[in-house]
Amino acid sequence: RTAQLISFMPSFFFLYQTKRKDEKIRFSSRQELIKYISNYLKLAQKEQFYIIGLNANSELIKNKLLSTGKDNSVMVDIKSIVDFISAHSPHSIIIAHSHCDYVSNPSLEDIQATRIIANLVRATGVKFLDNIIIVKDGNYSFAENSQL
């Protein structure tokens, strides 16, 4: 019975985080942001792609699931990123996605997509801060690894 209750904890925590979306959440470090987005992505059964918009004070404006893919890939429509920027006018954005194979290192496709998205975001006048890959037991930050 205890094991069954423990198995529900990630779902309860996710629900709690989801309900907190309307609160002003300020990130004072990249690690805080990674911890926040990890709660959405680390238990994903399929690859998912999120966009996170921040204001000039590093406060969360909005996070949004843009796409759910397959076991080993996720496609994102560039238009959905532009629509997000238009709708929420963030000062900066971070994108994040999960890898269900537990390998946090980026694929060639991840690197190429990050460059395209970063250039698009910068062309709109919004700062592109990072692409974070989340796996069950870790993460990979393009910014921390000088890949932006």
pLDDT at residue number 76 = 85
> What pLDDT does 61 receive?
94
CA dihedral 128, 34, 13, 138 (to 10 degrees): 130
**Between residues 122 and 67, the one the model is more confident about:** 122
Q: Please compute the mean of the pLDDT values over residues 80-109 and round it to a whole number.
A: 91
Determine the Cα–Cα distance for residues 31 and 36; give it in Å rounded to an integer: 9
pLDDT tens digits along 25-39: 899 998 898 889 888
The 3 state secondary structure assigned to 19-32 is HHHHCCCECCCHHH
